[in-house]
Amino acid sequence: MTFQDLNLNTPLYNALNDLGFTTPTPIQAEAFNVVSSGTDMVGIAQTGTGKTFAYMLPILKNLKFSTQETPRILILVPTRELVVQVVEEIEKLAKYINTRVLGVYGGTNINTQKQAIADGLDILVATPGRFYDLALSRVLQLKSIQKLVIDEVDVMLDLGFRHQLINIFDILPEKRQNIMFSATMTHDVDVLINDFFKSPERVSIAVSGTPLENIAQSRYDVANFYTKVNLLKYLLQDTETFNKVLIFVSQKRMADRLFEKLDEFFHEELCVIHSNKTQNYRLRSIEQFRNGMNRILVATDVMARGLDIDNISHVINFDTPEYPENYMHRIGRTGRAERQGASIVFSTENEQEYIEQIEALMKMSIPKIDFPEDVEISTELIEEERPQIKEHYNPIKRTDENAPGPAFHEKKDKNKKENLGGSYKFKIAAKYKKPKTRGDKNYNKRKKK
């Protein structure tokens, strides 16, 4: 099948020709007629298979020109980086179409975004939190929303957006088309579909956990953090093979720690992104990695989803992800658009069970590579790797039963006074026959009569 078989319009063909695309991916081919029909749809496809174009091609084909100010298409994505990326993809595809696209997300001035919305738009791309804030402010009118697209919905639920999504469903027009895309079908995603979708048609291209065939996977057994750092330095010295490397770690603290260790050797080639970095810093790091100014990017799992960066030669899992689905999303950053890619995972002894879970999900074994003799095996441990010393018995240490009790002594007489509370004012009034307030000055006169 080619794009000609989808019966697109001339502006879309011109944009696809400029991009050099001639053949749709399986998810693009399967989803086109379903989205065009107007029925609710759930698309399950691996990351890197062109899901953005899968829903945008039919939407743009059928989106008529309009001068109305309120948006007609709403696209929700989990992260700020994805908002920027989706807007860029839509603008490429709508190059020859008069369509107004706007991306909004948190961490930036909301008043600037309100002004942009007031100027009018057709397609709104947003993170759930910022979209809901704008909707509550009444600046963003939702009456014209015809289609709702939720991309990477499983990540949204992992990040705790469930309640925000439910609130958004409640404020949108009832008559709309719901389109959902996800790389994995979890129980939470299934519940969301059953609650809010009307007889959705499911388009599944790959079973969750099926690795992309064009990604060569391998793994190393590594003793500890500092040995992992030594191995990483050893591998990254081969600049010809490892020419564009994305390194994943599980935590922000670990990302900063690894960045600090690598910065000594790869200063000009290195950048890092995680959620504690400012928005400008994150976008700049991605852009520098994308255009080749930086060869190495250190990132956390949240950044693993949806990032579309061409020609990543290697994805290195500095730690083994606890959840096997996260491994699939990580390695999906390489080998995109049917190109060849490579993935390497480092595993300590404590992470071996995670490797087994990943292999069980993929129904295949990851080939193990012998540890290089030239790499130093460190004996130094970071805080998380040190054994926890438990004190079994210390005769000098007080036990709870021998601990001193609370101090006790008799109150002094002046501290034994009764707390009369609210009744005190009435006792005073009865004793002295004085008015309680200025407005009650005639009280004593009435009593004398």
The radius of gyration computed from the CA coordinates of the chain, to the nearest angstrom, equals 31
Residues whose CB falls within 8 Å of the CB of residue 84, separated by 6 or more in sequence, listed in order:
103, 283
Which residue in 80, 79, 75 sits closest to 53, CA to CA? 75
Under DSSP, the state recorded for 303 is G
Q: Do 3-204 and 215-385 agree at the fold level?
A: yes
Backbone φ and ψ for 413, nearest 5 degrees, come out as -55, -40
CA 180/CA 152 separation, integer angstroms? 8
- pLDDT at residue number 194: 87
User: How far is the CA of 425 from the CAs of 217, 422, 429, in angstroms?
Assistant: 83, 7, 6
Task: Decide the pairing of beta strands 73-76 and 101-104.
Answer: unpaired
CA 307/CA 303 separation, integer angstroms? 7
- pLDDT at residue number 348: 94
CA 79/CA 218 separation, integer angstroms? 29
Bridge partners (DSSP) of residue 271 are: 297
- pLDDT at residue number 246: 95
Q: Which fold has domain 215-385?
A: Rossmann fold (3.40.50)
Assigned token pair, 175: 């008559």
CA 269/CA 444 separation, integer angstroms? 91
Backbone φ and ψ for 375, nearest 5 degrees, come out as -95, 130
Under DSSP, the state recorded for 399 is P
- pLDDT at residue number 334: 87
Secondary structure (3-state) at 245: strand
- Residue 298 has a CB neighbour count (10 Å cut-off) of 26
Which residue in 164, 157, 180 sits closest to 75, CA to CA? 180
CA 29/CA 376 separation, integer angstroms? 50
CA 43/CA 272 separation, integer angstroms? 31
> Which of 136-162 are b and which e, b meaning 16 or more Cβ less than 10 Å from the residue's Cβ?
eeebbebeebbbbbbbbbbbbbbbebe
Domain borders along the chain are 3-204, 215-385
Task: Decide the pairing of beta strands 41-44 and 177-182.
Answer: parallel
Candidate CATH numbers 3.40.50.970, 3.40.1670.10, 3.50.50.60, 3.40.50.300; the one for domain 3-204: 3.40.50.300
Which residue in 168, 119, 167 sits closest to 148, CA to CA? 168
Q: Is the dihedral of CA 352, 355, 360, 366 positive or negative?
A: negative
Number of helices (H), then strands (E), in the chain? 16, 13
CA 434 to the chain's CA centroid: 69
**Residues with pLDDT less than 50, the chain:** none
Residues whose CB falls within 8 Å of the CB of residue 124, separated by 6 or more in sequence, listed in order:
71, 73, 74, 75, 102, 103, 104, 117, 131, 140
